[in-house]
Amino acid sequence: MKRTLLAGLAGGAAMNLAMLLTFRLIGFGLHGDGILLTSPIQSKKLIAVWTQLEPLPMVVRNPAPILLGMMLFAIGHAMVYRWLSPAWPAGTSRRALRFAGLLWFMTFLFWEFFTPLNQFGEPLPLILLELTFWAWIALAESFAIAFVAER
């Protein structure tokens, strides 16, 4: 159980760092000047949710609880990894890639379909960019979890 907890903490740290490098630096920008807020094709509703409608998302106004929550989700992901990985071919990379695909498909693809597309009317090109970000995030988290769990 200790290794699973450590794997989750490593995965959470990797997830938070990957989110910083993708969504924060490129997507939203350090000063709200990223492509997801400045693109002329972006949904006005999405821009308003992130920049105008009060209260702003917690991750904007008080990110610490969200960052902590991501760590807790990653611990849960490590538990799922521990449960599923014995059924997969051996090898850290092979298992990490399978787990990344699972996370991306079951979590991030669903999220982009249900929220940005469905609720905010975000255009497909920007959703595809976000799905690319989510792929990098899933890979970072999954490789961190697998690296620790497989030692």
96-144 confidence digits (pLDDT tens): 999 999 999 999 999 999 999 999 999 999 999 999 999 999 999 999 9
CA–CA distance from 57 to each of 19, 100, 128 (Å)?
Answer: 16, 26, 22
pLDDT given for residue 5 in this prediction: 97
3-state secondary structure the chain: CHHHHHHHHHHHHHHHHHHHHHHHHHHHCCCCCCHHHHCCCCCHHHHHHHHCCCCCCHHHHCCHHHHHHHHHHHHHHHHHHHHHHHHCCCCHHHHHHHHHHHHHHHHHHHHHHHHHHCCCCCCHHHHHHHHHHHHHHHHHHHHHHHHHHCC
pLDDT given for residue 71 in this prediction: 98
CA–CA gap between residue 123 and residue 39 (Å, rounded):
10
pLDDT given for residue 143 in this prediction: 98
pLDDT given for residue 46 in this prediction: 96
Cα atoms in the 13 Å half-sphere on the side-chain side of 134 = 19
pLDDT given for residue 133 in this prediction: 98
Confidence of residue 52 (pLDDT cuts 50, 70, 90): very high
Q: Are 27 and 133 in contact (CB under 8 A)?
A: yes
Confidence of residue 64 (pLDDT cuts 50, 70, 90): very high
pLDDT given for residue 25 in this prediction: 96
Confidence of residue 14 (pLDDT cuts 50, 70, 90): very high
Give the domain ranges of the chain. 2-149
CA dihedral over 82, 18, 147, 106, signed as positive or negative: positive
pLDDT given for residue 119 in this prediction: 96
Beta-carbon contacts of 131 under 8 Å, excluding residues fewer than 6 positions away, are 104, 108, 109, 112
